[in-house]
Amino acid sequence: MIGIIGAMQEEVSALLNKAEITKENKLLDTVFYEGIIEGKEVVILQGGIGKVNSAICVSLLLTNYDIDYVINIGSAGGLKQEQNVGDVVVSNAVAYHDVDLSAFARPQGELPDLPRFISADKGLVKKASQILDGMGIQENVGLIVSGDQFISQENQVSKIKNDFPEALCSEMEAASVGHTCYKYNIPFIITRSLSDVFGKGASSIQFDEYLKVASEQSARLCIELIKD
């Protein structure tokens, strides 16, 4: 069974519209939609916004279902000027941009007993890259960073770029999804369609305007990933 998690209703709805849902199972306040996509058993859920919400929901997913791998879909803010809204970022790794234990001589983002960069499944990353090339969608494979902020200010972006110059986008759930999967030893991949790019217009306005487009892009890629 494949576990698919998105943060927002728009992101999950775009996928539910393309799935054959056979059962709904409510755990705590989260609905787990069980069904079929491309002949494969899936369970889809809206994990909520932020690191704690997503970690709780992935834990519920992995303790209540026999999951082969996790796909985390959604939107993000681009950090590179050459990017455009609608581009897709695929994680080769995830990290926390807002974890700071520098007082203990640890680099930004590093927690004890956890890799600073949590690697996504290499096979899934390779497949996603090939799919996007075939779909003609601009893709970037690299680091996705997470923190509990919507990034819209110059000082926020500057700090992320200073601490993680290789980061392609920022959002609020990827690192905690990867962290939880790492603890459970479950393969994962994060895909993000860019709903805004810093420096190319007001981020909040871009986000509201392009969220639906970004959600559809993520859903398309997710379905292609599920296929054999």
> Minimal CA–CA distance to 87: which of 45, 141, 20?
141
> pLDDT tens, 109-155?
999 999 999 999 999 999 999 988 887 877 789 999 999 988 778 88
Q: Class of the 2-226 domain?
A: alpha beta
- Read off the pTM: 0.90
Among 121, 139, 196, 216, the one annotated catalytic: 196
Would you state the pLDDT for residue 205?
Answer: 45
Told to judge if 10 belongs to the known catalytic residues of this protein, a careful annotator would answer no
> pLDDT tens, 72-85?
988 888 898 888 88
Which DSSP string corresponds to 71-103? EE--EEEE--TT--TT-EEEEEEEEESS---GG
Nearby residues of 218 by Cβ (< 8 Å), 6 or more positions away: 6, 11, 14, 15, 73, 74, 75, 88, 191, 192, 193
Among 10, 11, 87, 121, the one annotated catalytic: 11
Told to judge if 196 belongs to the known catalytic residues of this protein, a careful annotator would answer yes
